[in-house]
Every structure is written in C-alpha cells, then in structure tokens.
Amino acid sequence: MDDANMRKCARDHAAAIERGDLATATADFVAEMRAAVPELAKALPNPIEKAEVLSVDVGDDASVAQIRYTGTDGSAVTIRSHWREVDGQPQIFQGEPV
C-alpha cells in the first residue's frame, strides 16, 4: 500500500467527518461495511468540532489509522480504522472505538 496515498486518505476521511459530509465518509468504506456506518457514527461526539489523525500504520496488505474526534462539548472518541486497497484505493473494512 502506498504510504503517501494512505495518509492522504486518512486525512481526507477525518476532514469529511469533521465537516459532516457523511456521503463522502461512507464512500471510504468497503461496500459490505457501508450499511454499518450509521451504527459506527453513533459512537462519535455530536456535533464534531475537530477530527485529528493520531497515527497511520501503513502495511503491505492493510493499514491502520487512529483518528480522534472531539465534540463541541469537549468529549472525544478515538476510532481505529483498518484499511485495505480495493481497486487501487484504500478503503475501510473494519472500525471500532479504541
């Protein structure tokens, strides 16, 4: 997996969540995970004030990104997302709160 592209995808995903663009954020998931996105979103602060990529561990077959989402009330949740390439583009195939 390309390191620079994976890091950009993680940053872009965090930015989409931060601005409330659920359509773009949902497109980052593999097709079979998209139906689970609303359930995953329930773990996030609402509304979100800031999304920060804490780490990206890029591997050959899969990568892991940790993104902290902070709400306007100061609450925060870190999500660990697991990514793999699908048709040359990193996509999330698993995610959970840390």
Could you tell me the CATH number of the domain that includes residue 25? 3.10.450.50
Q: What is the mean pLDDT of residues 87-94?
A: 96
Label residue 62 by pLDDT band (50, 70, 90).
Answer: very high
- Per-residue pLDDT, 45: 97
Domain region containing 63: 3-97
Domain count for the chain: 1
For residue 70, the tally of other CB atoms under 10 A from its CB is: 18
Q: What is the mean pLDDT of residues 66-82?
A: 98
| The model's pTM | 0.95
